[in-house]
Amino acid sequence: MMNHTGVLQLLVLLLLNFSATSGQIKEYSQIITVNDYTYAIEVGGSRDPVNESVIIENLGDMPLINPRITVNGLYDWFDTKAIALEITRGCVSDEEKALAIWDFIRCNFQHLSPPGDRECHNPVVAMNIYSYANCAYHSTVFTALCRSVGVPARIWEVWHHTITEAFYNNAWHMLDSDIGLYYLAADNRTIASVEQLWNDQKISGGRESGAALTTFSGRNKAVRAIYTDAAGKNPYVSQDGEKIRGYRYFHGADECYITTYYDRFTYEPHNMAMTLRPGEKLIRNWKGGEKYYEYERHNRSLESGVKWAKPIRYGDGQIIWKPDLKSELAPSFFNKDQAPGFEVLDGESPAVHVRHKQGGIYDMPERAILSTETPYTILGGTIKATFYRGRATDWDHLTAKVTSRTGPVSSIVWSAPAGVTGYIDAEIDLDKVLYPGGERGRHDYWVEFNFMANEENHPTSQSGLDAVELVTDIQVSSYSLPALSKGSNIIRYHDETPGEHKVRITHIWRERNDNTPPAITEGALFPADGETIETLTPVFRWGKASDQDKGDRIINHAIFISFDPWCRWPVATALFNETGSGVPEWQLPDGWLNRDTTYYWKVRAQDSRGVWGEWSNIHRFNTGKQDETP
């Protein structure tokens, strides 16, 4: 096991490694005119690239309905069922499905302060927009994903924690994806239930030293977890793999109970349906900027010393729409009721203008309304517009108003300056009016342009809008984005747009040649592949890994022991372990292996700059039967 000094030393190495920026920016664009299209991108470098952005642009005249991108069959997280089916692909039993979902959440959902948006209890919102929150959110996402593929699951509130159980093999099993932990029962094979953990605490009298399942033996050590941003920088140790995570699961009936409290948010209908209008594009970035959900509150907590207040890895993006107001499509972009006049229809400028002038019969402003709706959480935005006002009498007015169902919001964000006529350029900041805060994230807003033109002006004059661009800032989870990896990437694009259409997909990434990861270890020495061993406390040994970079050396190994032939999840979380040593061996403590049982294991190496190599081949060994000789 790695001691605390080793953890600090490795963190220093990670910081040194992550401080460097390397690689050349690459860009690939693909024009697509059909609903379903596949193309390939080859990525070079010595290791996986830093993905920067992916852009979808509607270049056609038709609304682009539900555009989606997958890479090598991954990231089609359209709804809860789609996420769960991707996670459990290849799983046969309910046990495999539950463990696959546990591992997916552990790897893709960071244990940090929750964003504040309670819709994050829903898997679609959690995994596509945030991917960080506390134990309650991990539990609801796990439960919903399990249930969507037919695995019964439930949530427990326990002492200072929220956990989950999945039902398979005719029993309940506690799987804590938030901490990255589960406990083996006394048979050293079955994952324990909450009831078994309760009984364990009762026997011990609440003292961990007297417990069997949650004792200091190492059974209650979580999988080590270090969070970084999308570029592998700013490492934060969430689980050190050493700290005893033996929560007192039983602390009286008032503190331990099954709950459905979160269901009203968890099971709301959410999906990633979206439409890009002609001229509109969706930009999604792996690395987020200064804005994220309730960033003002989280930043204050961070300044007060709460290190986990700000998300470590989050993405952002923009929905940018610059409609052509002088095209034949212009009337279709705006409201149909009380519609304004359009240059394309009546030949009068500006492009969108007053149809019924004011001062006589008509005394109300005319409205030209543009809307933005997105499944992503809105963080703010900007309106860039060119207005026109022919005169500046009391009946010649121009204003812009923003409304939203969330909040709710209704605010005048711009008015024409007094006495100014002619063309007026304006850039309107929406960050305050659309600030992301409260119980629910914002997914829509409307911009209402109000025009008035005095009918008594001589010569006649107009008021209106000649050009506009809406820039909507959004939050996205970088875990959900279609990431390219080193080597060949097969990208599939598909949408649900009827008829002819045209879309451009752009991938932007940075290839890295700064560090070649350690080579795969050279094979199993003990236990050898297929070997039957008599000891239940073997010293695992494997061939040395090499590193071709000058000055690099192997300083750490990870070993993974499993019942699963594909090594998808460990026997116990303590057996997904980092050795903290460059020596290619590890002593298994007593109490883990059973007689007459088949196990599988694999290893990988880490270099002195903190970069991990690939996992080795999977090796199999058997433990001998109990010696019955008298």
Tens of pLDDT, residues 238-267? 887 777 665 556 666 677 899 999 999 999
Q: How far is CA 61 from the centre of its chain?
A: 32
Q: What is the pLDDT at residue 227?
A: 87
Q: What is the DSSP letter of 268?
A: S
> Which positions ≥6 away from 8 have C-beta within 8 Å?
none
Q: Which amino acid, residue 392?
A: A
Q: List C-alpha distances in Å: 419 to 277, 279, 325, 391, 463.
A: 36, 34, 26, 8, 14
Q: Is residue 15 part of a domain?
A: no
Query: What are 452-464's pLDDT values in tens digits?
Result: 999 998 888 999 9
Q: Determine the pLDDT at residue 629.
A: 53
154 in any annotated domain: yes
Q: Do the Cβ atoms of 108 and 131 come closer than 8 Å?
A: yes
pLDDT score recorded for residue 445: 97
**pLDDT category of residue 2 using cuts at 50, 70 and 90:** very low
pLDDT reported for residue 226 = 87
Residue 110 pLDDT: 94
Domain that holds residue 340: 321-474
Model confidence band, residue 1 (pLDDT cutoffs 50, 70, 90)? very low
Across the range 333-337, mean pLDDT stands at 89
Please state, as a whole number, how many other Cβ atoms lie within 10 Å of the Cβ of residue 42. 10
Q: What angle do CA 450, 455, 461 make, to 5 degrees?
A: 75
Helix (H, G, I), strand (E, B) or coil at 347: coil
The pLDDT value given to residue 522: 85
Structural domain includes residue 518: no
Classify residue 186 as left (phi > 0), alpha (psi -120 to 50) or beta. alpha
482: in domain: yes
pLDDT band of residue 19 (cuts 50, 70, 90) is very low
Kindly state whether residues 413 and 508 are assigned to the same domain.
no
The reply to whether 108 and 222 lie within a common domain is yes
The tens digit of pLDDT for each residue in 96-146 reads 999 999 999 999 999 999 999 999 999 999 999 999 999 999 999 999 999
Separation of CA 602 from chain center: 28
- pLDDT of 279 strictly over 90: yes
| 98 shares its domain with 222 | yes
498 plus 568 within the same structural domain:
no
Region 378-395: mean pLDDT is: 96
Q: What is the pLDDT of residue 459?
A: 80
Q: Return the SS3 of 124.
A: helix
**Number of CB atoms found within 10 A of residue 360's CB:** 11
- 495-541 pLDDT, tens digit each: 999 989 999 999 999 999 999 999 998 899 999 999 999 999 999 99
Report yes or no on 8 lying in a domain: no
Residues 540 and 577 in one domain: yes
Q: Model's pTM, two decimal places?
A: 0.92
The number of beta carbons lying within 10 Å of the beta carbon of residue 565 is 10
Q: How far apart are CA 104 and CA 108, in angstroms?
A: 6
| 354 and 396, same domain (yes or no) | yes
Split into its structural domains, the chain has a count of 3
pLDDT value of residue 453: 93
Interior angle at CA 627, CA 624 and CA 629, nearest 5:
155
Q: Which residue has the tokens 């605490």?
A: 201
pLDDT at 627: 66
Question: Residue 630 above 60 pLDDT?
Answer: no
599 - beta bridge partners? 621
Regarding whether 502 and 448 lie in a shared domain, the answer is: no
CATH code at 325? 2.60.120.200
* Span 370-374, average pLDDT: 97
The answer on 453 and 571 residing in a single domain is no
Token pair for 102: 């546990």
Closest CA to 421 of 386, 379, 391, 446: 391
In tens, the pLDDT along 283-306 reads 999 999 999 999 999 999 999 999
Three-state secondary structure call for residue 114: coil
Residue 16 lies in a domain: no
Return the percent helix, strand and coil in the chain, to nearest 5: 15, 35, 50
Q: Could you tell me if 106 and 218 lie in one domain?
A: yes
171 and 289 co-located in one domain: yes
C-alpha distances in angstroms, 566 versus 97, 137, 561, 617? 14, 29, 11, 10
Q: Give yes or no: residues 426 and 486 share one domain.
A: no
**Tens digit of each residue's pLDDT (9 = 90 or more) over 216-228:** 445 677 888 888 8
Residue 3 within any structural domain of the chain: no
Residue 8 above 60 pLDDT?
no
Residue 208 has pLDDT above 70, yes or no: no
> Can you tell me the distance from the alpha carbon of 284 to that of 57, in angstroms, rounded to the nearest whole number?
12
**480-493 tens-digit pLDDT:** 999 999 999 999 99
**Residue 235 within a domain:** yes
Query: Average per-residue pLDDT in the chain?
Result: 91
Question: Does 424 lie in the same domain as 482?
Answer: no
Tokens of 473: 């800032």
* End-to-end Cα separation, the chain, in angstroms: 37
The predicted structure's pLDDT at residue 3: 46
Phi, psi of 333, rounded to the nearest 5 degrees: -80, -20
pLDDT tens digits along 36-73: 999 999 999 999 999 999 999 999 999 999 999 999 99
